[in-house]
Structure 1
Amino acid sequence: MSFQKLANDILDGVGGKENVNAVWHCATRLRFKLNDVKRADTGKIEKLEGVITVVDSAGQYQVVVGNSVSQVYEALTLLPGMAAHASASNGDIQEKRTGKFNPVSQLMDFVSAVFTPFLGALAGAGILKGILALFTTMNWISPDSGAYKVWSAAGDAIFYFLPIFLAFTAAKKLRVNPFVAVSLAGALIHPTLVEIVSNSQTINFFGIPIVPITYTSSVFPILLAVWGLSYLEPLLNKWFPESVRNMLTPLFSLVIMLPLTLIVIGPIGTKISGLLALALLAIYSFSPLLAGLVLGAFHQSIVIFGVHWALITLMINNVANQGYDQWLPIVCAAVLSQAGAALGVFLKSKDAKIKGLSSSAAITAIFGITEPAIYGVTLKLKRPFYCAMIAGGIGGAIIGSFEVHASTFTFPSLLAIPTYLGQGFIGEVIGLIVAFFGAVILTYFFGVSTKPPGDSIDSDVSNPNEILSPIDGEAVPLNRVNDEVFASEAMGKGAGIIPANGIVKAPVNGTVTSVYKTGHAIGIVSDSGIELLIHIGVNTVKLKGQHFKPLVKENETIKAGDRLVEFDLEQIKAAGYDPTVMVVVTNSYNYDQVIVNLEDTKSKRLLQLIPKEQ
C-alpha cells in the first residue's frame, strides 16, 4: 500500500487542503478539524484501501487507519500546503467565529491533543513498571540491585515529570511558547519546592501564603496554568515592542504565572482532581461489582465517540493522588473482550476477507489497540460487538468485585497485566479469562451469521437509515437510468436496479402511501420517516397495468421482505420497455447524503442515508 497515495486520497475525500483547519493523529486515527464537515465525502473515504472507517465525533472528523497511521500522517504533511495545518490548534478560534463552539467537544479535543504525542512512551514506561513489579514479586530481581534502580528510574521518569510533558504538548496545542510553559512546569517540581512540601513547611509570597502541594505526577494544575498562559502571553506581546518582546514576554510570563499558579491555579487544579477522584470513588464504593459491570460493558462504546480521553485523564490522576487506580483493571476486560470477539469471527466466518481482517484485528486488540477490531469487524457485524459487551461486562463485574488495583498507569492490554499485581490479582486473571474467552465463545455461536460468504453482514433493517434492495438484480447509479426525470434526481436521490426477476419486496418497515392503478409504481414511508418511490420500468405507465399485479393496498402496514408487486419481466422486455426498477428517496432534502451500495453486489443493502445534523 502506498502511504503517499492513501494520504492524497484522504485529503481529496475531506475536501482538500482548503477545508482542513488542523490535522494530527493518535494511535490509530487521523484527526481532522474541518472548516466544513459537509464537504467531506465519508462514503468515498471509507472505500479507500487502508481506511477502516470514519468517525465524526467530539468536534473532530476522524479517519481510522490503524497501526500505519503515523506513516500516513507523515505522508499527509508532505503534501503541498499541508505542513502549515499539521498539529495546528486554531480550531477553537474557528469554531467560536462560526458560532459552533461546543465546550465538551473542545475539552475532548484538547485532552486528546495533549496526551497523544507521548502516549507510546507513557504506555511503555507503565509496562516497564509492571514488569519490575512482577520480577520483584517473584524474587527474580532485588529492589536494592543496580539493575532495578536503573530500570525503575526509566519507568518512573515520565510519571514523575509528567507536568513537563503536559506543559510542552499543551503549549503546542494552545500556541504559546513551549519553553516558557516547560519552565513553569519545571518550577512546580523544583527540588526546593518539593523539599518544602515534603517537610510540610508553609512559605509565603509577599505575605500571601502558598499552600504546600506536591505537583509531581499531577495533571490538572499544569494544564490550567498553561491555559492561563495562553491568555497572558498575547497581552504581553501586544504591550512590549518587537525589539524586546523575545526577552520581556518570557520574563514577565514566569514572574506572573508561577506565583499565580502556586497561590491560585495549582490549588484549584488540585481541588478539581480531588473532587473527580472522590466522585469516581463514590461510584466504585457504592458497588464495585456494578461499576465493573457497567464500565466493562460500555467502555469500548465510549471509545467510538472519543469520550474515553476524559476517563484516561482521571485514571492518571488517580494514580498520582491515590497511588493506584481501580478503573484500569476493569477497562482491560473491555479491551480483551473485543480481541476475543474478533477471534470468534475469525474462527467462525467463511469469508476470506473477513477472516483476514479479524485475525489481524484480534492481535492488535490483545495489545491494546481496539479500533481495527471495533470498526473493521465487531461493530460492522453488530452481533460480535454485543457479544463483546456482554463478556466484557461479566469480566468487569468479576474484577470489580475483587477490587483490583493498578499500581501505575498504562494502557490496558495483555502486557499491562503485571501492573495489576497485588490486591485481588487472582480476580483480575479470572475476569480477563472470562472476558476474552467468553467473547470468543459467544461470538462463535451467536455473533456470526451462517449465511454464505459475501453475505456475512446481516441483511436486517435494524438501522433506520438503511434501505434494502426491493428486488434481486444489479444496482446502478440513478443518473445512468434511461429516464431523464429520474436521472436528473429532480424527484430525489436513489438508485436503479436491473431486475433479475419480477418480484418487488418491501425494502423497509413502514406504510404504503400510494399504489398506482397501473401497478408500475408504489409509494412507501418507512417507520423512520424515509419517503420512497419504487418505479418499475421506464415509461411502463403506457402499459396501463398490463403485466403488473399489485399485492398491497394504500395505508397497509408492511415489513421488510413483504411482497409488494409482481410483474412479468419477460413480457415487459418483449413489449420493448426498459424494465429497470428505480428506488427514489423523495425527501432526500432531509439527508446530507444518500449513498448507493455499488461495491458489495451480494449484500441486500441498497442505500445508506446520512441524516443532517440537527
Structure 2
Amino acid sequence: MGKYRELAERIVENVGGKENINSLTHCITRLRFKLKNEAIAQDEVLKNMDGVVTVMKSGGQYQVVIGNHVPDVFEEVMQVAGLGAGGSDEADAPTGNIFDRLIDIISGCFQPFLGALAAAGMVKGFNALLVFLGSQIDGFNYTATSGTYVMLNGIGDAIFLFMPVILGFTSAQKFKLNPMVGIVVGAALCYPSVQGGALQAAFVATAGEGVAAPYSIFGLPAYATFLGIPWVGATYTSSVIPVIFIIAFAAQVQKLAKKIIPSVVQTFVVPFMVLLIALPVGFLVIGPIISMLTDLLSSGFQAVMDFSPIVYGIVLGFFWQVLVIFGLHWSVVPLGIMQITQDGFSQVLTAMYGASFAQTAAVAAMFFKLKDKNLKSLCPPAIISGIFGVTEPAIYGITLPKRWPFIYSMIGGSVAGAYLMFNGVGSFTMGGLGIFGLMNYINGDDASFVLHAVISIGIASVIGFGLTYFFWKDNTVIEETIVVETPMARTETITAPVQGTVAPLNTAQDDAFAQGLLGKGVVIHPTKGEVVAPFDGTVMTLFPSKHAIGLVSDNGLEVLIHVGLDTVQLDGKYFEAFVKQGDKVKQGQKLVTFDIEKIIEAGYLVETPVLITNAGDYLDIIEAEKKDVVITDELLTTVI
C-alpha cells in the first residue's frame, strides 16, 4: 500500500465513489475528475481534508487541487477507483537509451501483476514438491495424474499459459491503449486455431501427410494465407514479446483512428479498426520475425556446441535469462527434446541449469540492500518461486529494472554453465525445474551427475549473491536534512522567467493561484512568448503539454512557472520545450517558447503565475517594485 493510499480512498469516497467517476486525468497540481453527478461530491469535506489544498469546478471538470505530489496521489486514486488506462494527461514514455527504454517497458508491463505471478510460481513449486514426495514416500499417493495435481497445476500454470491476455491488459495501460482492446488482442493470440501447430495440422488434414508447406517466408514454412499473404504460424501461448509489440503498434493505430473517426461512433469503430489492423500485422509480421530469430538462434547454438561444449556452456548460461525474456529460449528447447527422444541423453539444456539459482541468489542479496520497502516485500515470494525454477517475478519485477543485479546473475549462470559442460553433465529427462531439476540428472541408479548439478547450484548462487551484495548499490534517493548554521539571514534572488507586466498574485483569474494555495509569488502578463531559467538549477518537472515547468535551484528553492489558464487542454499545441525533466540549467537559459497570439485565439488566457512552491521554508518573500520586467530583472527575493 502506497503512502497516499488512505488519502486516495477518502478522495474517491467524497467525490461520490468510484461509481460516480467517468474519467480522471491530472495536470501539474490537481486531479481533474469528470463526474456523473457533481452535486453528490462533498466539496467542504474535500477542502478540509489533510493533503487536499482546495476544490474547484471549471470546464466541466471537478478539480481536486493537491500540489506537487499529484502524480503519486493520482496513481493511488486510479487503483482505488479501478480506472483503466488513458486516465493521465501525462504520457508514460520511457527515457534513456534503447536498453533502458526496453527494460522500462517490460518491467512496467509486469509490475501490476507481480504478486499474482509470484503466487502462481509458488503454487507450481508446491505442486512439484508434492509429486516428489509422492515418489519417495510409501503410502503418499500423489502423482501428476491425480485430480488434486491437475487442479493445482491449472491454478499455478494458468497465468503462464495465458500470459498474452494479462500482458495485453497491462501493456495497454503502459501504451495508453483501451485496456479492453488489449485483453482481446491477448486472447486472440491464445486462440487455439491460430497457433502454428494448429495451422500445420489443418493443412495436413486437407493435403495429407508428407506434403510440403505451400509457401515459405525467409525459409519459414507458411501453411495458410490471409488475403493472399502467406501466414507463418507461431505459438503465442506463454509468450511475452509478441503481445507487447502488437499492443505498442495498436496504440498508434488507436491514436490515428481517433483523429479521423467521428466521436459519435468512436466507442465501437475505433476498437474495430484497431483489431482489424493491429492483429493481422502481428500475425503476419511480428510472429514471423520471432520465429525467424528463433531458428537463427537454434542454428547458432548448435554451431557453438559443435565448436566447444565449454564455450557453449558459457554463452547459454549467460544469455539464458535474456532468451526467456524475449521468448527465444524455444530456439534451444526443441534441440534438447529431440536429443533425449532419440538418444535418451542430452547436454543441450544443461548449461542453463544454474541461471535460475543465480537469479534467485541476486534477489536474496538485494533483499538486504533495498531501501524501497514495497520492492523489498516482493523479494521473499520471488526467492521461493525462484527456488522452484520460476524466475519471472524476480526478473521482471526486481533485478531487470535495477540492471546490474540482473547482469550479475547472468555471470553466475555463465560460470555454472561452463562448469557443467566441462564435466560432461547431461540430463536424462525433462520437466523438473529449479531444485526439482536435479531429478533430470538421475539415470536409473546412477546419480553421479546430481553432485555436479548441486555444485553448479552453489557456484551460481555464490556468484549471483556475492557480486550483487558487494558491488551493487541501491540508487534509491533518500532525502536527508542538512543543518547549516547561519549567523545571519541569507537571501536568494529569482529573476523574471518571462518578459511582461507584473501583477499581484491575488489578481490571477484562477482562484487556486490567486489565494496562494499553491505557493507565493506573482503573475506576469507576458509580452514575449519565452520562458527562461530564473536561476541555476535543475528541471524538476516538465509537463508533457509544456505549459508548466517546475525548477529547483542549486540551493533548494522550488519554483513553478505556469503559462496560461487551463492551457493543459492544448496538449502541447503552440508550445515548444528546449529542456527535459532532470536537465541542469543556467540562469537565463531558454526553457520553453509559446505562441501568445495563437493561444489567445484558441480562447485561453496567457497570464503566467510564477510561484515559490516551498514558500514555507523561507522567513519572507519580497516582490520587486518594478512592474514591467525583462528576463534579466529581479522578480522575487527570498529570505532565510
Q: Taking structure 1 as the reference length, what is the TM-score of the superposition?
A: 0.45
Q: Taking structure 2 as the reference length, what is the TM-score of the superposition?
A: 0.44
